Chain A
Amino acid sequence: MADARADVVIIGGGHNGLVAACYLARAGLKPLVLERRETVGGCAITEEFYEGFRASVLAHATAPLLPHIYEDLELARHGLEFVKPPVRVLALNADGPALAVYDDTARTVRELEKISAHDARAYAEFRESFKTIGRVLAPLLTMTPPSVDKPTKRELWNLSRLGLKFRGLNKRDAYRLLRYGPMAVADLAAEWFETETLRAVVAARGIYGALAGPWSAGTSAPLLLQAAIDGHTLAPSSFVKGGAGALSKALAQAAVSFGAKVRTGVDVMSVRVVNGKATAVVLTGGEEIGARAVVSNADPRRTFLKLVDPTDLDPNFLMKVRGYRSLGAAAKVNLALDRLPSFGGVEAPDANARLAGRIHVGPSIDYLERAFDDAKYGDYSKQPYMDITIPTLTDPALAPEGRHVMSIYVQFAPYNLKEGTWDERREEFGDAVVGALADYAPGLRETIIHRQVITPLDLERDYNLTGGHVLHGEPSLDQFFTFRPVIGYAQYRTPIKGLYLCGAGTHPGGGLTGAPGANASREILKDLKAGRRS
């Protein structure tokens, strides 16, 4: 007999779990969020990693959060503030000026005119084309992937509406949409641009979080997804004031204000399943909490291979879950800086403004591909691809007066190393990252007060990301839309009645958008309403 009860128990207080809690509570249910760590947020957290220095130790930008979620959950009221510097990405060059891509197309075109008339022209059309394609794909984000067995009328209706939107596209964009899906992003970039750095920046979005290089087929799909999210193809510079943790804090507050409960420091050991139905969760302490529905914000592997007893699942399903690819290849290095290092090719006076967005290190397609090659053979990249932010430029409160925080997202760092363990090689890896970055910011080493290195192994141990995968699984075509996490179970439901998924391992996948959480809550509400009727 359960010691306590809740309408819905949500395992994991990541941003998706909290979004789900908000929507469920808003609908009048009493959800209970259980977070293993002391702070909610999962990958969206702000922590003091060195005295006086706070950083978004994991995710350092939103994807961004879908606007309607921000509205629905009245997050402004709970103190959520976004910081959106005009520069979207600044691509560094070891020799030569850095290339800035702004949210504003005209400004970007002006920047490009200095290097290539062709690319300046192409860029304008590139943006337009993807804006248009994005508008067609946008409904996918908030859509529950249709059943592949027997789609309902409503699902078919949604699809046909999408089909009509597609028909509405002009031929060029329509065919682009069809061709780009399975294409290698290196080809896509080369189709549009001649400047190597620009090609690389475009390609970077396609491999972000994936164990793939720009020449891997299917790496163009993430660009289409990004276009659906905010009409752009490059990673957005959409930060949260106070760091990513402030987003989770606001979500948690919202959830509570809607009537949800949030408990931290409680570790769920297993999901209790009685005759094929999830009835409760069991905490490590032995405490049992009963619920009408159990929602897992944990990744699919952890949910089905750890939290649920395998005997409660069909072997074929288990086989698919084991086949779900979630071996991570990304790591984080966070630096506390005594002062801002100077970057080659980024001169005053507006240096700080240009550095305020995402900073891209990965000057060429070959550079990115070679970085991936290392990972293929079980080693971290000697010359890694880096996605860097210096949040203190837009949010000085994160560090002591005049000091700075540098958050470095690093690819590739494969979870499985051929030689040694991550525990043995953590600092060696940190040195390699700092060394690689020093090629672009010569004085960097001298400015470092403290360094935090988070390897894929740490991501798994400390943040419960199986395989250390920051996106809860590869963002590849075989794990996309109706196939995420596995075909037949892409509708946030699982083979176990009353057990749901709401994390990045479901459509539309990783990144701080809140979409999986929102979509999942919709399906859960459907079922609970239906249940009440019957």
Chain B
Amino acid sequence: MAQKYNAIVIGGGHNGLVNAAYLARAGKKVLVLERRHVLGGAAVTEEVFPGFKFSVCSYVVSLLRPEIIRELDLPRHGLEILPLDGTFTPMLDGDYLWRVNDHAKTRREIARHSRLDAEAYDEYGKAMIEMGRFVKPILGMTPPDPKSLNVKGLMDLVFLGRRFQQLPLEDKYNQVQLMTMSAVDFLDRWFETDVLKATMSASGIIGTFLGIRSPGTAYVLLHHYMGEIDGAFRSWGFARGGTGAISNSIADAAREAGAEIRTRCPIAKIIVQKGRAVGVVLENGDEIHADVVSSSVDPRLTFMKMIGEEHLPNEFVEDIRRYKFRGSSGKVNLALDGLPNFTCLPGAGPHLRGAVSISPSIEYMERAYDDAKYGRFSRHPYIDMVIPSLTDPSVAPPGKHVMSCFVQYAPYNLKEGTWDERREEFGDTVINTIAEFAPNISELILHRQVLTPLDIEREFGLSEGNIFQGELTLEQLFFLRPAPGWAQYRTPIRSLYMCGSATHPGGGIMGAPGRNAALRLLQDWKRGKV
């Protein structure tokens, strides 16, 4: 006899869990089904090597919506964010740029490179805060569908229009440029120091298949800056116990609200009857029924694999086929016997407690992208490294360390060879690149885990290894995410909803998609539309 639930949430990633928590809190009987043995999706902590706990994929946090932390009372459920202090960028000429949370310090450091830039750094921060203010309400909004505008949608558009109109001209100007320009062009307006622009613009390309000179990357800049301006915690940080701890705290909140969560439950199909989703079939054949199915996995898996084209309108199928994933990054996780020693700033100083960014110059970053454009991984990739064990000793044995390296570019489709053949070559490239700045790295490595885009797809169910469940490009944002006309968390299948990063406002450990989708679904429920 098949059990019956109000809602089944597919995928126990942070968005799925947020979604479940909100549904459960509204009194719905919710079941979360996670394919893997651990919860969290890409926000997961795993003991990859004995004694060494890694935030295997996503490794820092800052975007998690404050209202979610508040409403789900996550601190009570064990969420603790430890500060990640600043970004350290070694340069090719033996110098470095070290930005920290202490504003005055950072100003002095930047002044060392350029007095003008030190001045501009303040103005830039102010401008970004203004723009963040403008964008924030949009994050929590269900995108209107411009083609079939209902009153609500029209009002939303008018609301946006008014908000924009009321901005001072300067902010309008910034906003427009932010939405359309490349990260470098945008930063050029403030700064002259090459390395400063290079390392700042790096956050503009994360998760996209774009270069720092590609228009549209300035927006991703803000997307990542958002965390630095939200009230909850002002800067990037680690979760104590690794990123998985975030997922666990959300799961805990969901369970407390009455949600049931099962791991090791891979789903074969979503059951569709008369155009309605009525439940799921597990790979072991079990059927579980529910009034509503809410999928936090990406559209390709949801619709092409679990639903099947035959149940979907052709145009929608085309749109999903066209939806761009294009994973462009890999991950290298290292178990270290000691700390890397950077030639430009020797010793185990506080600079290792923040992020270490291999983004020494604009040209370096751009050439890394050029490699990817023509189907090879960067010979000299952009690398963003963190050593959480310095801040949170619990993740490594005494005296040992874990180092997590986010690497871009690693295009999902290689022109030559397969990722299975080239995995270790890729790993070596990353190590050698780091060694150019910290020569001792090679001797320190006890274990190394190399995750290619292919591995990320296989292990974590992210199509083409895209960490945001689809590129954050303008034509895939807001009312176009994931498909025009279907940006409102609903799908062509009645009582099937989307709640993952492939919906507005997109990827990162933000939780907004899960929350927005839950609110939308609950509203539909009230109106008897489900």
Contact = CB atoms under 8 A, between A and B. Distances in A.
| Same assembly | yes
Interface of A: 148-150, 166-167, 171-172, 174-175, 178-184, 187, 191, 212, 215-218, 316, 320, 323, 325, 366, 369, 373, 376-377, 476-478, 483, 486-488
Nearest to B362: A376
B474 interface: yes
Interface in B455-478: 473-475
Interface string B147-185: 100000000000000001100011011001101110001
Nearest to B210: A217
Given A149-B169, A182-B180, A316-B170, A216 B215 contact: yes
A182 B473 contact: yes
27 contacts: A148-B172, A149-B169, A171-B147, A171-B485, A174-B146, A174-B147, A175-B485, A178-B479, A179-B475, A182-B180, A183-B473, A187-B324, A187-B475, A215-B214, A215-B373, A217-B214, A218-B215, A218-B216, A316-B169, A323-B189, A369-B373, A476-B181, A477-B215, A478-B176, A478-B185, A483-B176, A487-B173
B155 to A, nearest CB: 15
Contact of A478 (B165, B181, B322, B370): B181
Given A325-B185, A487-B169, 13 more contacts: A174-B146, A175-B485, A178-B479, A179-B475, A181-B474, A183-B475, A191-B322, A323-B189, A476-B215, A477-B180, A478-B185, A488-B169, A488-B172
A178 B484 contact: yes
A373 B315 contact: no
B181 A487 contact: no
B72 to A, nearest CB: 35
Contacts of B185: 325, 478
Contacts of A478: 176-177, 180-181, 185, 215
Contacts of A179: 475, 480, 484
Most buried by B among A373, A377, A478: A478
Given A149-B169, A476-B180, A478-B176, A366 B374 contact: yes
Contacts of B315: 171-172
Closest 6 pairs between A and B when the two form their complex, measured CB to CB: A182-B474, A175-B484, A477-B180, A217-B216, A478-B180, A217-B215
B473 A217 contact: yes
Contacts of A150: 165
Contacts of A183: 473-475
Contacts of A377: 363, 366
A182 B146 CA distance: 16
A180 B474 CA distance: 10
Most buried by A among B210, B315, B484: B484
Interface in B360-384: 363, 366, 370, 373-374
A175 B147 contact: yes
A149 B167 CA distance: 9
A364 B276 CA distance: 45
Interface in B60-82: none
Interface of B: 146-147, 164-165, 169-170, 172-173, 176-177, 179-181, 185, 189, 210, 213-216, 315, 322, 324, 363, 366, 370, 373-374, 473-475, 479-480, 484-485
A196 to B, nearest CB: 14
Contacts of B366: 376-377
Contact of A218 (B147, B164, B170, B180): B180
Contacts of B474: 181-183, 217
A172 to B, nearest CB: 7
Nearest to A166: B146
A437 to B, nearest CB: 24
Nearest to A366: B374
Contacts of B475: 178-183, 187
A320 B169 CA distance: 11
Nearest to A219: B215
A346 B528 CA distance: 66
Nearest to A377: B363
Contacts of A166: 146
Contacts of B214: 184, 215-217
Nearest to A188: B475
Contacts of A218: 180, 215-216
A171 B483 CA distance: 12
Contacts of B189: 323
A178 B215 contact: no
A483 B172 CA distance: 10
Most buried by A among B189, B213, B475: B475
A316 B216 CA distance: 24
B169 to A, nearest CB: 5
A200 B422 CA distance: 31
A125 to B, nearest CB: 12
Contact of B146 (A149, A178, A184, A376): A178
A68 B36 CA distance: 65
Contacts of A369: 373
Contacts of B180: 182, 218, 476-478
Contacts of A325: 185
Contacts of A316: 169-170
Contacts of A175: 147, 480, 484-485
Contact of A487 (B147, B172, B213, B480): B172
Contacts of B213: 376
Contacts of B170: 316
Nearest to A172: B315
Given A182-B473, A215-B373, A487 B484 contact: no
Contacts of A187: 324, 475
Most buried by B among A150, A175, A377, A487: A175
A495 to B, nearest CB: 11
B232 to A, nearest CB: 31
Contacts of B165: 148-150
B216 A182 contact: yes
A174 B216 CA distance: 22
A166 B179 CA distance: 22
Most buried by A among B147, B170, B370: B147
Nearest to B321: A191
A394 to B, nearest CB: 37
Contacts of B485: 171, 175
B309 to A, nearest CB: 18
Contacts of A181: 474-475
A342 to B, nearest CB: 32
A175 B170 CA distance: 31
A35 B404 CA distance: 64
Contact of B176 (A174, A215, A216, A487): A487
Given A148-B165, A191-B322, A320 B173 contact: yes
B375 to A, nearest CB: 9
Nearest to B149: A167
A180 B475 CA distance: 7
Contact of B370 (A178, A182, A373): A373
Contacts of B164: 148
Nearest to A319: B189
Nearest to B147: A174
A135 B376 CA distance: 42
Contact of B480 (A148, A178, A215): A178
Contacts of B374: 366
Contacts of A366: 374
A149 B171 CA distance: 12
Nearest to A212: B215
A216 B322 CA distance: 18
Most buried by A among B164, B180, B366, B473: B180
A197 to B, nearest CB: 18
A300 B386 CA distance: 46
A323 B190 CA distance: 10
Nearest to A486: B173
B150 to A, nearest CB: 13
Most buried by A among B215, B216, B324, B484: B215
Contacts of A212: 215
Contacts of B363: 377
